[in-house]
């Protein structure tokens, strides 16, 4: 474990591409108690002025190459507050075998996890299987974002990947609350780009638990108040869940979608003590 310039880079023995983060409340602040990663995975922990601990996950080599299998396990202890993101977009390069990504997060009672990574970007002929499992104890909270971009649109690779299968499962107090699967694949009878229409980015945003109840209510009110416009640059819908909401959105560009989502989430200073999204601008 080494630190430099307020950032922590960690790599330990273990299966390639695996990572484990444990966040624990110590007095008025949360600390990153444990960070175990094996190359090519890395984690950076910039300092901040709030009470939450921040972690940015990254990989060497700029993305996932054919055959890569990465996994991340996140634990948030009781009353702890964690913000986890990625240093940049998760890029998946072309390959016949494909890549796999597994993310498993556990949040204890009173804990809060923000997981707001940069978009997932699959290159031409890329294949990815992604599995996300989120387990919340009674009284735990989470804000979880998953964004899929059309790919390297500027290079003509719009929805040009071969296959994506992404599953999301959310358990609250041991009971299954959400289970959904997104499966996209190239087909000889209809190009994927044609089936995706005019949209270049899609997102799923989960806001769940008592510590983010006001945010969930504000999102629901905002989406309900928006008028449907023909050929709108961005469309969104929200589903009510016990204790929160699940928002789905699509936009004509990744930038447009991210800007709207970050605006909808609002300043995070009140929840984290400092706003990581404000540092992006």
pLDDT at 137 (0 to 100): 98
The domain segmentation of the chain, as residue ranges, is 2-267
Which secondary structure element, helix H or strand E, spans residue 221, and what is its range?
A: helix 213-225
CA distance 77 to 80: 5
CA distances from 276 to 24, 109, 266 (A): 19, 24, 11
Question: Is the peptide bond between 40 and the residue preceding it cis, with omega within 30 degrees of 0?
Answer: yes
pLDDT grade for 226, boundaries at 50, 70 and 90: confident
Model's pTM, two decimal places?
0.91
Q: What is the DSSP string of 93-152?
A: -B-SS-EEEEEEEEE-TT-EEEE-PPPEEEPTTBEEEEEEEEEE-TT-EEEEEEEEE---
Radius of gyration of the chain measured on its C-alpha atoms: 18
How deeply is 195 buried, as exposed, middle or buried, from its count of CB atoms within 10 A (0-12, 13-18, 19+)?
exposed
- The DSSP call for residue 82 is E
**66-100: per-residue pLDDT in tens?**
999 999 999 999 999 999 999 889 999 999 999 99
pLDDT at 4 (0 to 100): 29
CA distances from 267 to 65, 166, 176, 219 (A): 35, 29, 30, 13
pLDDT grade for 247, boundaries at 50, 70 and 90: very high
pLDDT at 5 (0 to 100): 31
Q: Which two tokens stand for residue 260?
A: 């709207």
| 3-state secondary structure at position 10 | coil
281 pLDDT exceeds 60?
A: no
- The DSSP call for residue 200 is -
Strand pairing category for 163-172 and 120-122: unpaired
Question: Can you tell me the mean pLDDT for 47-57?
Answer: 95
Question: Can you tell me the mean pLDDT for 10-39?
Answer: 83
Please tell me the total number of residues recorded for the chain in this structure. Answer: 281
């Amino acid at each position: 474990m080494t630190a430099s310039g307020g950032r922590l880079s960690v790599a330990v023995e273990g299966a390639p591409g695996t990572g484990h983060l444990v966040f624990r409340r110590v007095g008025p602040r949360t600390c990153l108690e444990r960070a175990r990663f094996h190359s090519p995975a890395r984690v950076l922990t910039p300092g901040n002025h709030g009470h939450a601990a921040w972690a940015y996950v990254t990989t060497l080599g700029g993305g996932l190459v054919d055959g890569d299998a990465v996994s991340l396990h996140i634990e948030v202890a009781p009353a702890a507050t964690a913000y986890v993101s990625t240093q940049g977009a998760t890029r998946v390069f072309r390959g016949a075998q494909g890549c796999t990504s597994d993310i498993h997060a556990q949040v204890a009672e009173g804990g809060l996890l923000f997981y707001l990574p940069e978009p997932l970007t699959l290159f031409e002929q890329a294949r990815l299987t992604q599995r996300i499992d989120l387990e919340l104890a009674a009284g735990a909270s989470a804000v979880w974002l998953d964004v899929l971009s059309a790919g390297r649109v500027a290079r003509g690779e719009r929805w040009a990947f071969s296959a994506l299968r992404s599953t999301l499962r959310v358990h609250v107090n041991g009971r299954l609350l959400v289970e959904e699967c997104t499966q996209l694949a190239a087909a000889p009878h209809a190009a994927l780009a044609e089936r995706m229409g005019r949209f270049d980015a899609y997102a799923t945003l989960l806001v769940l638990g008592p510590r983010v109840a006001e945010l969930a209510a504000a999102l629901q009110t905002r989406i309900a108040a928006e008028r449907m416009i023909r050929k709108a640059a961005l469309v969104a819908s929200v589903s009510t869940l016990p204790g929160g909401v699940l928002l789905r959105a699509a936009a004509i560009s990744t930038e447009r979608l991210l800007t709207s989502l970050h605006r909808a989430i609002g300043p995070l200073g009140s929840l984290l003590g400092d706003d990581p999204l404000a540092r992006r601008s």
